[in-house]
Homo-oligomer: A and B are copies of this chain.
Amino acid sequence: MSDTPTASLIVIGNEILSGRTRDANIQFLASALGKIGAPLVEVRVIPDIEKEIVTAVNASRSKFTYVFTTGGIGPTHDDITAVCIAKAFGVPLVRHQPSVEKMEHYYGDKLNAARLKMADLPEGSEPIETRVTSAPGFRIENVYVLAGVPSIAQAMFDSVAPSLAHGAPIVSRYVEAHMGEGDLAETLTEIQNAFPAVDLGSYPFFRTGRVGLSVVVKGTDVDAIDGAIEQVVKAVEALDQTYSVDAVLEA
């Protein structure tokens, strides 16, 4: 597992911490990174405070293969991500002229000092350009700085994804059954022990008044996943419950 790339996400967002906005970037990046085999292994949501951002970025960039950040790259006073990333790396901000030209084209006479700030990137970084905005995200070393608006964050991720190191894709299959988790718990422990290569998770749900559980089997070894899923199905059948099996191949 040591050669599997790992990713972390730092969500820079007072609006998430205040509850005003429900984050959508965690789930998108989690799915997308799993598909390319660079699984998301940690998320932090932190406020728009310089010290917090610098500390979080420096702690994460030495620990994970990739660090993504979302939020704080717009034109207003509370958009401080680029300044903080520059401080984390000990480099100045430099105005990125090709982005200035794109913004001149897009904004015309509405291009002002505040908007030009979006073309200031930490020295040594590469812009992350998309079709959807003229202002770029950027990459510096292993840190990828994305917008907070989900549609823009997704376009920025899509534009860098081909350049990321891909590990074995994380494959995930699951079985749902209408029973309590506790009914199956002891058997699931046995199955997890019999298939140590997979990660077997159990998640209760409540739908239309009925209790159920999803047993999720994931990992990179498809034979082991199929073997474990087969055992879970047998265990569910042995309890004589209605069940449904769905197979989701994320690759």
Which residues of A line the B interface, CB within 8 A? 11, 14-24, 26-32, 34, 39-48, 52, 74-79, 107, 110, 112-115, 148-149, 151, 170, 172, 180-186, 188-189, 192, 199-206, 216, 218
Residues of chain B contacted by A192 (CB below 8 angstroms): 77-78
Q: How far is the CB of A191 from chain B (nearest CB, A)?
A: 9
User: A43-B45, A185-B77 are known contacts. Are A180 and B19 too (CB-CB below 8 A)?
Assistant: no
**A9 and chain B: residue at smallest CB distance:** B45
8 contacts between A and B (CB under 8 A): A15-B201, A18-B218, A19-B29, A20-B216, A21-B203, A44-B45, A74-B202, A149-B204
User: A17-B39, A30-B19, A186-B114 are known contacts. Are A76 and B44 too (CB-CB below 8 A)?
Assistant: no
**A77 and chain B: residue at smallest CB distance:** B189
Residues of chain B contacted by A17 (CB below 8 angstroms): 30, 39-43
Verify B20–A76 contact, CB threshold 8 A.
no
Residues of chain B contacted by A188 (CB below 8 angstroms): 76-77
Alpha-carbon gap, A41 to B1, bound state (A): 33
Alpha-carbon gap, A112 to B186, bound state (A): 9
Q: How far is the CB of A200 from chain B (nearest CB, A)?
A: 7
A23 in complex: contacting residue of B23, B29, B149, CB < 8 Å: B23
Q: Which of A21, A43, A113 has the largest count of B CB atoms less than 10 A from its CB?
A: A43
Alpha-carbon gap, A203 to B18, bound state (A): 13
Verify B23–A115 contact, CB threshold 8 A.
no
Verify A182–B77 contact, CB threshold 8 A.
no
Residues of chain B contacted by A202 (CB below 8 angstroms): 74, 76-79
**A33 and chain B: residue at smallest CB distance:** B19
Q: How far is the CB of A211 from chain B (nearest CB, A)?
A: 10
Residues of chain B contacted by A113 (CB below 8 angstroms): 186
